[in-house]
Structure 1
């Protein structure tokens, strides 16, 4: 994965309002950490680059676009695409499905959907917690999704597992929009607090999360971010 080619040709640059739920699409997000992880994982790279829409979910990606391509783009986080798609589904009375997380988290999501978006029909499935799914696991997951036949499928199983699972099974999924949004399941359920708009506007959404979850997030901030910035510098200087 080459950073210049990524920001020139793949990262989404249009307003979020131009994403249509009527077009069959796989929507993923990319940030400096997932960029660095994909460079070590060819299947993850394929999953990201095969996306119909690859959202710039990170101030580092926004910075790279400005420095390498001269494009001023807006960060679009997983929480942003989640809210936008729910608003669109609510207008049309569509069905949405949540695949991932615990039963408790999914119940909280369904309860909140009923309150926030009463025109949406919602269902969910909690897959087993394991590094890799068996063919039986995947069959059950697909059966749960396809029997509901949602317009939108939200997948939340952490990266890169979620993106790679969607990539491997995309032809078997009956949904118009499939988007992997990871931590958004917990944000929306209220089991994990998202950073406030103050930090988001500063481009520092990661900072309060790092303070709350240092063991889980230290690597992406103290390893991946410097590596990404070094790659950006090398690319800009033609090294």
Structure 2
């Protein structure tokens, strides 16, 4: 498993930024104009759920992102958080960072959908990794089928899945597969393995390892891999190979796929038991208190109030003073201000003294701002945080330090 520092170093390569401009005097009112537009995550419709980003995006949007990245040959790292991801991220900091450093995080689990709905996130259904794979495979009308490389899985599964894909006339064609066997992420990163993957010329790399190992391996080899779209899709490879039968649609819709998975793979019962009990604990100690306190803040302040942001550009830091409700209704006001401030390549101080309300959408924006700044070697600090606001940050999983 990579350390947080190693993951952040890998994340710094995600962005191309303009040169730092000279510092301006604090008396100046206007913010400096960015010399080069900064490709960032601030445009994503991201919500913060227990410290990890969740994109409110449907299948159509995901498929568009994948095909656009494949066409442009730009890197797109997809993570598909399920309940196991959510639980593991609470105790494993480097695993949580691997989700934050991803370019897209779609919901792959009905429990996460239920938590998201409770928090107020506009997600109607899951966009599971296996569903993404199936949708790409079924896209027979696509002008260009995507070349996919299958990596990992049980012995023989990748080969069988490749044969199944290439017998069909669909939107995916397998251009290579590899199953190096059970070993560590470091051993899976040996030169000849990475060279074999790159030589395939694939558009889409699908890894099928354990969740912790898969995320670690993708981050470890982020610079070395040349395939533009990458994702750890877990059981999707087994479903394609036919080694595991997927639950019927009605069970998946009702949230009982875990029962079917235990029938197919009995050893999973322990994981589902541990994750289920952890979810109940998180609901009681974090999710419900977060819902309660964010609701209370909204109820005690005028709904018609607008968010205002005062900008103060100094020689070493940019101070952004927020006033009013910092919520989903006003994210559009904050995005251009945050983007310009990030382009200054300075430390950003966010003064929340006059913020009267905040929600999961704005916490998601702050999470993406922090991610972008850390990729540039900068930091974001918060000041003027009231005890109630600090409590909401803690329940939402966003660290103040």
| Same fold? TM cut 0.5 | yes
Match of 1:22 in 2: 68
Name which of structure 1's ranges 69-78 and 18-27 shifts more when overlaid on structure 2: 69-78
Match of 1:10 in 2: 53
**1:158-237 matched pairs, under 5 angstroms:** 158-215=210-267, 217-235=268-286, 236-237=288-289
Which of 176, 188, 194 is the equivalent residue of 1:123? 176
| Residues 132 and 175 of structure 1: CA distance in aligned 2, closer, same or farther (over 3 Å) | closer
TM-score w.r.t. length of structure 2: 0.54
Alpha-carbon distance in structure 2 between the residues aligned to 1:73 and 1:157: 28
Q: Which has the greater radius of gyration?
A: 2
Match of 1:111 in 2: 163
**1:21-170 matched pairs, under 5 angstroms:** 21-23=67-69, 24-87=75-138, 91=142, 92-102=144-154, 104-117=156-169, 120-134=173-187, 137-170=189-222
State the secondary structure of the residue aligned to 2:55: coil
Between the two proteins, the alignment pairs up a number of residues equal to: 234
Could you tell me which runs of 5 or more consecutive residues in structure 2 were left unpaired when the two chains were aligned. Answer: 1-46, 70-74, 291-394, 396-401
Contact 1:153/1:175 (8 A) holds in 2 = yes
| Residues 5 and 102 of structure 1: CA distance in aligned 2, closer, same or farther (over 3 Å) | closer
| Residues 68 and 93 of structure 1: CA distance in aligned 2, closer, same or farther (over 3 Å) | closer
Alpha-carbon distance in structure 2 between the residues aligned to 1:74 and 1:188: 22
Contact 2:148/2:203 (8 A) holds in 1 = yes
Contact 1:65/1:73 (8 A) holds in 2 = no
Name which of structure 1's ranges 55-64 and 29-38 shifts more when overlaid on structure 2: 29-38
Alpha-carbon deviation of 1:103? 5.1
| Residues 165 and 201 of structure 1: CA distance in aligned 2, closer, same or farther (over 3 Å) | same
Alpha-carbon distance in structure 1 between the residues aligned to 2:216 and 2:91: 14
| Residues 237 and 6 of structure 1: CA distance in aligned 2, closer, same or farther (over 3 Å) | closer
Alpha-carbon deviation of 1:187? 0.9
Alpha-carbon distance in structure 2 between the residues aligned to 1:148 and 1:25: 18
The structure carrying a bigger strand percent of its residues is 2
The structure carrying a bigger helix percent of its residues is 1
